Amino acid sequence: MTKILKDTYGRTIDYLRISITDHCNLRCIYCVTDNISWVPHEEILRFEEIAKIVRVLVEEGIRKIRITGGEPLLRKGLPDFISQISGLKGVEDLSVTTNGVLLHRLARDLKQAGLKRINVSLDTFKPERYKTITGRDFFHQVWKGIQTAREVGLSPVKINIVAMKGYNEDEILDFVRLTLEDPYVVRFIEYMPVNEKWNDNDFLSVQKIKEVIESVYPLVPIDGTHNNGPARVFQVPGARGEIGLISPLSNHFCGTCNRIRLTADGHFRPCLFSDTEIDIKTPLRNGGDETVIKNLLFETLRLKPKQHHLQTISAPKCHRGMWSIGG
Ligand code: SAM
């Protein structure tokens, strides 16, 4: 019988986001703080530990899995891990979120390992601006990665853009144009207050982004075709691709939240924006069996808050950075 996981508020929880490393090869202004301290190697969950946790969670009702980080493509052995997870009965959707820097090298192996689709974070088409935002000169490499992903048949390729006033708002329409001829799904995500670098002045609402797009292109709401999660999805009539708008701040989607997270250092995290965490690594390394994992999963569901309070409490909101939680 298929099991369904529910939290205290009756929400179905079927989505697990796994951060497999806290390391990243970029230093994005909105993500990484100046005083980063990496988790020591031995404190990071091993792939076999993650796979053990995932097996139990999938048996209990998790259906969708996203591999993230840090930068997940930095972790050696990722394709083998993907093939373990993609082969699990009960996993209906498996995806990876990457900055794309190493994608040109790994896209084919990931596809062969059973990955079907991929999300690539890219905030600008301008190489110089890319350097300003990410601290690194990898724009051309990322673009090559995106093209390789399409060539090997990862589909859809979603492009995630953190939209920020004064940084990339003038490129909104360039991203939209990308969807006209090619089947990209471009998703504009509101800048979220995850650390002390948060600055109210940089915030650009999804409403504003939509206005900019609609000043030039009509937008038709569609159901979307590819596991859109919290994105509201639109299309320019006749376009091959889609446009997603994600508004964690201006219009939160906590009421339909279906996710929990597993951090790279082995903690369940019920909500991205709450620092409550449940240690799973210690019990696991002390010999904890499937029942222990199951009980910690239920505890995670019990602690999942009704909603985040980003709108009501002043920033910053998380003590861990996104690179460590897994955005
Ligand atoms: N390294 C991978 C990547 O770049 O996609 C995965 C991890 S990254 C933390 C996941 C996503 O979080 C990226 O799309 C990134 O742009 C987004 N992100 C990080 N900090 C953010 C912030 N303050 N507001 C909105 N999105 C953020």
pTM over 0.85? The answer is yes
The answer to which of 49-63, 175-189, 300-314 has the lowest mean pLDDT is 300-314
In a domain, 137, yes or no: yes
Range of the domain at 59: 15-325
pLDDT of residue 224: 62
pLDDT of residue 310: 63
In a domain, 10, yes or no: no
CA of 166 to the centre of ligand 1 (A): 18
Backbone phi, psi, residue 130, to 5° = -55, -40
From 30, 33, 74, 121, mutation site for ligand 1 pocket: most ligand atoms within 8 A of C-beta: 121
In a domain, 172, yes or no: yes
Whether the link from the prior residue into 156 is cis, omega within 30° of 0, is: yes
- Report residue 313's pLDDT band, with 50, 70 and 90 as the boundaries: very low
In a domain, 7, yes or no: no
Alpha helices in 172-286 (DSSP H): 172-181, 206-214, 281-285
Residue-wise DSSP of 131-198: HHHHSS--HHHHHHHHHHHHHTT--PEEEEEEEBTTTTGGGHHHHHHHHHHS--EEEEEE----STT-
For 237-274, write each residue's pLDDT tens digit.
999 999 999 988 777 778 889 999 999 999 999 998 88
pLDDT of residue 327: 66
Give the residue whose CA is nearest to atom 4 of ligand 1: 99
- Report residue 326's pLDDT band, with 50, 70 and 90 as the boundaries: low
Order across the sheet with 64-68: list the strands.
Answer: 220-221, 232-235, 242-246, 185-190, 157-163, 117-121, 93-98, 64-68, 15-19, 259-262, 267-269, 278-279
CA of 83 to the centre of ligand 1 (A): 24
Atom of ligand 1 nearest to the CA of 195: 23
In a domain, 1, yes or no: no
For 252-261, write each residue's pLDDT tens digit.
778 889 999 9
In a domain, 201, yes or no: yes
In a domain, 2, yes or no: no
CA of 46 to the centre of ligand 1 (A): 23
Atom of ligand 1 nearest to the CA of 322: 9
Atom of ligand 1 nearest to the CA of 193: 23
Atom of ligand 1 nearest to the CA of 119: 5
For 100-134, write each residue's pLDDT tens digit.
999 999 999 999 999 999 999 999 999 999 999 99
Q: Report helix, strand or coil for 75.
A: coil
pLDDT at 206 over 90: yes
Helix (H) or strand (E) holding 22: none
Q: Which residues line ligand 1 (CB under 6 A)?
A: 24, 30-31, 68-69, 71, 97-99, 121, 160, 162, 189, 191-192, 194, 322-323, 327
- % the chain with pLDDT above 90: 79
CA of 327 to the centre of ligand 1 (A): 5
CA of 2 to the centre of ligand 1 (A): 33
From 25, 36, 97, 261, mutation site for ligand 1 pocket: most ligand atoms within 8 A of C-beta: 97
- Report residue 201's pLDDT band, with 50, 70 and 90 as the boundaries: confident
Give the residue whose CA is nearest to atom 22 of ligand 1: 192
For 170-192, write each residue's pLDDT tens digit.
999 999 999 999 999 999 999 98
pLDDT at 311 over 80: no
pLDDT at 211 over 90: yes
- Report residue 318's pLDDT band, with 50, 70 and 90 as the boundaries: low
Work out how many domains the chain is built from and give that number.
Answer: 1
CA of 62 to the centre of ligand 1 (A): 23
CA of 292 to the centre of ligand 1 (A): 31
pLDDT at 319 over 70: no
CA of 122 to the centre of ligand 1 (A): 10
CATH code at 285? 3.20.20.70
CA of 290 to the centre of ligand 1 (A): 32
In a domain, 6, yes or no: no
